[in-house]
Structure 1
Amino acid sequence: MAPVVGTARKLLQNALAGAGYPRHVLVACSGGPDSLALAAVAAYFARRGHVDGHPLTVGAVVVDHQLQEGSGEVAARTAEALQDLGLQPVEIRTVTVAGAGMGPEAAAREARHAALEAAAGGQGAQAVLLGHTLDDQAEQVLLGLARGSGTRSLAGMRPARPGAGNAVLLRPFLELRRADTEEICAVEELDPWHDPTNSDPSFARSRTRVEVLPHLEEKLGPGVAESLARTAAILQLDADYLEDVAESTYASLVVRDGRDLSLPEEELRALAPAIRFRVIAKAAADAGGQQPSYRRLLAAEALLRRQGSAGPVELPGGVAVYRLSLAQLEESKDAAAAGAPDGTGSVPREPARCGKLVFRPQKPPAK
């Protein structure tokens, strides 16, 4: 047995153990070297019928995105190879990629994830295996740097995360290089399909793969990809910790008033900036919005330094955030007192929201 095959088997074994030894797993296979090598390694455990004494069956799904001529033939050939490896059941899911409101890569990923979720549910799989490698992780980190993204994006892809219905997504090969998966295919006498879009310079990821990373390796020396992947692993720990702190902090601060949410400004100001920005982003999402850009978060956070009531700042997804001051609270209280039974004064038309950032959905609730 080639050493790389033994290493790959151990990586998959560890991933399955970490996921609690799922009884049935699903290999997502495009027919490329990475996912086909993963299918071959998974087939080894399928033939044995167990991992570490825990029962295991392995199925597979091939997603046909219909984005290239002959994609149906590639899918059929891949499905046949998976059946020859002994995986059962093997199914082909044909999807239509809708590009409305997103780029082609994001649209294809969304369609693929929906197909994987449906396949996992249909087969009763507790885990879906994805063939991403260390090279994919390095590319992900570089793309995040180029976009000016935050910690979560630079942390790259997780080895394990929820994401396919009730099945967890597992990436056991994040420590293997792409050349390793090609070697596994050669050892297993498999003929992988090479996606031409992987070298198409019109895609940012492809340019990163065939131009940027090789250039960095040439100019900075070998080991750049490993260093980028190691950076992702370190940042995953940081991102998880910050996320946990932000989640508990948000839960302790948020006040709900109908569809509106509010956060007390004094407590917000006291937070470390890394937590404060995350708490504001959580409020925006909780109010029905989307993840704000860093520029929009800065604009919302700047309301804390304004005098008097301020805003609104429009956030993506139809959420407006504004500041109501403590002075307005006192004015509202005075107005409420003046509007007593003698009919003088005026009563506020809605409850006072003061000394707070208020997040208000601009869209009517979905029926």
Structure 2
Amino acid sequence: MREFRRDHPEVGDEVCVALSGGADSLALTAAAAVEFATVTALVVDHGLQEGSDVVARDAAAAARGLGVSAEVLVVVVPSDGSGPEAAARTARYTALESARRGRPVLLAHTLDDQAETVLLGLGRGSGARSLRGMATWNAPWGRPLLGVRAADTRAACRHLGITWWDDPHNTDPTFTRVRLRHEVVPLLEDVLGGGVAEGLARTAALLGVDDDELDRLAGAVPVGDDGTLEVSRLEPLPAAVLTRVLRRWLLAQGVVAPTYAHITSVAALITDWRGQGGVAVGGTGPADAGGAGPSARLVARRRHGKVVVENDRASGAGTQDDHG
């Protein structure tokens, strides 16, 4: 925690801690109580398990016993089709954002959590942006325990005489992360002779440095006042920089979630130009002001030495792309 404060003085002296009642977040709360002038524990009650209100109440009491103030945030987790884990995460962060009132929030993710995040990214074929894992500081969220093993947070709680709550979801094999934690990582540790979690976390840190530099280079590529990109400026770029330029540009043009297929297809308009037509990169919703009618498509095209994103309905059928 002291190292986190030294490396991130912008965090200030007044913080919140996201407290679940588990060993990781209780150990974090205890450390924060020593290092920061004012600490508020924010306990989110998702209401997803019977007795969750009691767990939240006990967690708040434990925080007060450590000398910090505590608030219980009761949230409703909607069935939005994203799955229970994702929906609960969204509800939790929304509640924390509302309750923090301008203060940074410390989260109790450990080195073990970081290793699992990297493994998930590897299995899904993600790039450096995902494999770099979670950031130690990404305002307003701080993660001081990313270099600490979960076993050490439990040892700290035992040393301090703190009783923690074990979430039954953390042993439920229907959750992917649980199987990674209890099946995949131990197997890798056995096969590779140990040090796997630390190695995965180190990989995340190394990739983070590389990714930051590539993002810096991508950010230096200018976008025209009309929102277009000059092909002549893009052609010399290394692929690792070009894809980042295009991702950032597509997001700015209203493409909600540009995929790998979107980005590589748009890149081909620059690096493998054969006079091909436009690339559909997403929809804009109902095309008319009344909200009726078909959704309009966003299409990336090469036109007059530039790459542009156009509303397919607005640009008109049969509009010509570059042929030179």
Superposition TM-score, scaled by structure 1 size: 0.77
Q: Given the alignment, which residue of 9, 14, 35 partners 2:3?
A: 14
Aligned to 1:264: 230
In structure 1, give the amino acid aligned to 2:244.
R
Matched, 1:275 2:204: no
Partners of 1:156 and 1:223 in 2: CA distance: 18
The question of whether the paired residues in 2 share the 8 Å contact of 1:292 and 1:316 is answered with no
Q: Are the structure 2 counterparts of residues 278 and 264 from structure 1 closer, same or farther at C-alpha, using a change threshold of 3 Å? A: same
Q: Structure 1 stretches (4+) deviating beyond 3 angstroms?
A: 306-309, 315-319, 361-364
Aligned to 1:255: 224
Aligned to 2:13: 23
Q: Given the alignment, which residue of 300, 305, 315 partners 2:282?
A: 315
Partners of 1:154 and 1:316 in 2: CA distance: 28
Q: Deviations over 1:184-225 (max 9, x none)?
A: 110111111111111212111111111110111111111000
Matched, 1:356 2:306: yes
The question of whether the paired residues in 2 share the 8 Å contact of 1:288 and 1:361 is answered with no
Unaligned runs of 5+ in 1: 1-11, 47-55, 163-167, 326-353
CA radius of gyration, larger in: 1
Partners of 1:103 and 1:279 in 2: CA distance: 31
In structure 2, give the amino acid aligned to 1:18.
D
Partners of 1:317 and 1:100 in 2: CA distance: 21
Partners of 1:363 and 1:69 in 2: CA distance: 51
Matched, 1:146 2:123: yes
Matched, 1:65 2:46: yes
Matched, 1:194 2:160: no
Partners of 1:311 and 1:321 in 2: CA distance: 6
Q: Are the structure 2 counterparts of residues 181 and 233 from structure 1 closer, same or farther at C-alpha, using a change threshold of 3 Å? A: same
SS of 1:28 mapped into structure 2: strand
In structure 2, give the amino acid aligned to 1:36.
L
Aligned to 1:33: 23
TM-superposed CA distance for 1:174, in Å, is: 1.1
In structure 1, give the amino acid aligned to 2:20.
S
In structure 2, give the amino acid aligned to 1:206.
V
Q: Given the alignment, which residue of 76, 91, 105 partners 2:57?
A: 76
How many pairs does the alignment contain? 301
In structure 2, give the amino acid aligned to 1:43.
A
Q: Deviations over 1:318-363 (max 9, x none)?
A: 76233244xxxxxxxxxxxxxxxxxxxxxxxxxxxx1221113579
The question of whether the paired residues in 2 share the 8 Å contact of 1:323 and 1:355 is answered with no
The question of whether the paired residues in 2 share the 8 Å contact of 1:283 and 1:359 is answered with no
Partners of 1:16 and 1:362 in 2: CA distance: 50
SS of 1:270 mapped into structure 2: coil
SS of 1:96 mapped into structure 2: coil
Q: Given the alignment, which residue of 108, 114, 117 partners 1:131?
A: 108
Matched, 1:93 2:73: yes
TM-superposed CA distance for 1:18, in Å, is: 2.5
The question of whether the paired residues in 2 share the 8 Å contact of 1:321 and 1:360 is answered with yes
Q: Are the structure 2 counterparts of residues 285 and 86 from structure 1 closer, same or farther at C-alpha, using a change threshold of 3 Å? A: same
Unaligned runs of 5+ in 2: 286-296, 315-324
Partners of 2:196 and 2:89 in 1: CA distance: 26
Partners of 1:135 and 1:71 in 2: CA distance: 25
In structure 1, give the amino acid aligned to 2:299.
V
The question of whether the paired residues in 2 share the 8 Å contact of 1:321 and 1:357 is answered with no
Greater shift in the superposed pair: 302-311 or 31-40:
302-311
SS of 1:299 mapped into structure 2: helix
The question of whether the paired residues in 1 share the 8 Å contact of 2:19 and 2:41 is answered with yes
TM-superposed CA distance for 1:102, in Å, is: 2.4
Partners of 2:24 and 2:312 in 1: CA distance: 45
Partners of 1:66 and 1:247 in 2: CA distance: 43
Partners of 1:110 and 1:82 in 2: CA distance: 24
Aligned to 2:317: none
Partners of 1:362 and 1:117 in 2: CA distance: 37
Aligned to 1:156: 133
Superposition TM-score, scaled by structure 2 size: 0.87
In structure 1, give the amino acid aligned to 2:100.
A
